[in-house]
Chain A
Amino acid sequence: MADYEIPNDLRYTREDEWCRVEGSRVVVGVTDYAQQQLGDIVFVELPAVGSTVERGEPFGVIESVKAVSDLYAPISGEVVEVNGDLADHPEHVNEDCYTDGWMITIEPSDPDEVGTLLDAKTYRTHVEERSTE
């Protein structure tokens, strides 16, 4: 089985997004498992700064050579930053999904919502359940 990096200090969704709390804001990206499953990322479409996202609703699109997938908002709030580098360098999601491959920063409408997401241990179990055939 492939090995997946799942940092302990992040929160996760069952749709394979990660969240990192930075002060009052939350940075969002997709996990190592997601990028490995997708393969070469060739296109990322993200919302505009100032738009609002709703937990569980699609906020963007990620495309590999073969596949098109929605990106789902892990929490509700306002998009306050977008990683514009991904327009020209979608491969950053493959190369470093937890740093250069970040996608958006959200100002949460409910500061406690991020605490309800999966912790690393629970997310790892979720990944392993899908990896075993």
Chain B
Amino acid sequence: MSALKRTPLYDAHRALGARLVPFAGWEMPVQYRSILEEHAAVRSAAGLFDVSHMGEIHVSGPGAVASVERLVTCPVASLRAGRVRYGLLCNEDGGVVDDVTVYRLADDHLFLCVNASNIEKDYRWIARHALPDARVEDRSDRTGLLALQGPASAAVLSRVCDVPLAGMKRFTFAEGAVAGAGALVSRTGYTGSDGFEIYLDAADAERVFAALLDAGKPHGLAPCGLGARDTLRLEAALPLYGHELDDTTSPLEAGLGRFVKRETGGFVGAEAIERRALAGHARALAGFVVEGRGIARAEHAIFCGGARVGVVTSGAPSPTLGKPIGLGYVPPALAAPGTEIEIHVSRPSGSRTGDRAIAARIVDTPFWKPTQPTGGTSTSARPHTA
């Protein structure tokens, strides 16, 4: 196994006493003090995440827009400079190569924020499908990314940032200075709460991270690890690549049809997605709440009426709801809210407590959303990348 990569904030995480774990080839903080406390900080105040492991792939030149247009499921030509859209890179079979956010920097310059685990795969895929008059460049290593999330995010960020945040709408961004460092400030996130993602030079990451922690102190800001990031995104029912999405999954099975330009098509995988939809999907992603005693986890089997009908893709206790929740694939006929299912909890190998069934019920997603829309026009919780 190759050595784990470290973000520019590795030393800062150590100094804060973070527990570092391997994630997608990176040594990342899973928690600083407590996942539950960090989760609560984001829902009630603010949390600061180092997500510098994520990738940034730039596409520029005269063919940039046409190249990205044929690579992602969301419309690109209509995306104005300063705006962000969520979309999927699909393969010729309609499976998901990655889920990404597309940033329009200028007429002839976009970048895609991609999952850490997929950077190399995505880069090769994009370079292979880009037009000759487009330049594809992986800037992941020199780009730092901080996510400041939670209702107090704007108050915290405005203390150290010269970008006017009050009128900034969700899924827009602006360039400016954060703690004196040049940054791209985007009103996006992966928690379901209001918040910002701050792209900057890797060399500035440590200083800006420290300045944000300092500015956030009076607001109850906590440094947060990937543990809280996962429970937060699950409450918002945002998909995680490798769990809800993979190379075989159609975006429509995952309930992401609203991010697919089905009328216009013209992107890699468009025909296969329609062909598969016409043939009828065998499965649909559904959210469930556990009603019995126990916690559903990824890969547990889902049963209904005594038969195995599907599999859990993500499962965890929901700190905000106070009960375990999960996402999983079931036949479309069983995906309706109210459907009673059973989760077959399998234990660590060798356990004599063995497998057992716990009752659960399909519910509408997201499991949680802010009561107060924030950040200008609040679109419903939109997926972002992990």
Interface residues of A (CB under 8 A from B): 2, 39-40, 42-43, 45, 47, 57-61, 63-66, 68-70, 87
Q: Which of B318-350 contact A (CB under 8 A)?
A: 319, 347-348, 350
Nearest-neighbor residue (CB-CB) of B31 within chain A = A39
Interface residues of B (CB under 8 A from A): 17, 19, 30-31, 34-36, 227, 230-231, 293-295, 297, 316-317, 319, 347-348, 350-353
Q: Report B-chain residues with C-beta under 8 Å of the C-beta of A45.
A: 294, 353
Residue of B nearest to A47 (CB): B353
A57-B350 Cα distance, complex, nearest whole Å:
8
A40 x B347 contact (CB < 8 A): no
Whether A42 lies near B317 (C-beta < 8 A) is yes
On whether the beta carbons of B30 and A66 are closer than 8 Å, the reply is yes
Contacts of A60 in B (CB 8 A): 353
Q: What residues on B are CB-neighbors of A64 within 8 Å? A: 35
- Judge whether B31 and A61 touch: CB under 8 Å: no
CA–CA, A42 and B351, complex, Å: 19
Residues in A with CB closer than 8 Å to B316 are: 65-66
Candidate in B34, B35, B297, B351 with the most chain A CB atoms within 10 angstroms? B351
The residue in chain A whose Cβ has the minimal distance to the Cβ of B230 is: A66
B34 and A63 form a contact (CB under 8 A): no
A66-B30, A66-B227, A68-B297 known; A61 vs B35 contact (CB < 8 Å): no
Q: Is the CB of B353 within 8 A of A43?
A: no
Contact: B317 with A61, CB < 8 Å? Answer: no
Also in contact, A57 and B352, with CB within 8 A (given A39-B35, A66-B35): yes
Q: Are A70 and B348 in contact (CB under 8 A)?
A: yes
Whether B30 pairs with A58 at a CB distance below 8 angstroms is no
Residues from chain B with a CB closer than 8 A to the CB of A2 are 17
Give the secondary structure class of B's interface. loop
The CA of A59 and the CA of B34, in the complex, are separated in Å by 27
Chain B residues, Cβ within 8 Å of A43: 293-295, 317
18 contacts between A and B (CB under 8 A): A2-B17, A39-B31, A39-B34, A42-B295, A42-B317, A43-B317, A57-B350, A58-B353, A61-B348, A63-B295, A65-B35, A65-B36, A65-B227, A66-B30, A66-B227, A66-B230, A68-B297, A69-B348
Q: How far is the CA of A59 from the CA of B351 in the complex (A)?
A: 7
Q: What distance in Å separates the Cβ of B240 from its nearest Cβ neighbour in chain A?
A: 14
Among A43, A57, A65, the most chain B Cβ lie within 10 Å of the Cβ of A65
What CA separation (Å) do A65 and B315 show in the bound complex?
10
Q: A47-B353, A65-B227, A65-B231 are in contact. Are A70 and B347 (CB under 8 A)?
A: yes
Residues in B with CB closer than 8 Å to A68 are: 295, 297, 347-348
Chain A min CB distance to B34 (Å): 5
New A-B contacts (16) at CB < 8 Å, excluding given A39-B19, A43-B293: A40-B34, A40-B35, A42-B317, A43-B294, A57-B350, A58-B347, A58-B350, A58-B351, A61-B347, A64-B35, A65-B316, A66-B35, A66-B316, A68-B348, A69-B348, A70-B347
- List of A residues within 8 angstroms of B353 by Cβ: 45, 47, 58-61
CB distance from A63 to the nearest CB of B (A): 6
Contact of B317 among A47, A59, A65 (CB under 8 A): A65
Chain A residue nearest in CB terms to B39: A65
- Give chain A residues whose Cβ lies under 8 Å from the Cβ of B293: 43, 87
CB of A124, distance to nearest CB on chain B (Å): 21
Which among B230, B316, B348 has the greatest number of chain A C-beta atoms within 10 A?
B348
Which chain B positions have C-beta within 8 A of A59? 352-353
Known: A45-B294, A68-B297. A61 touches B351 (CB 8 A): yes
A70-B34 contact, Cβ under 8 Å, with A45-B294, A65-B227, A65-B231: no
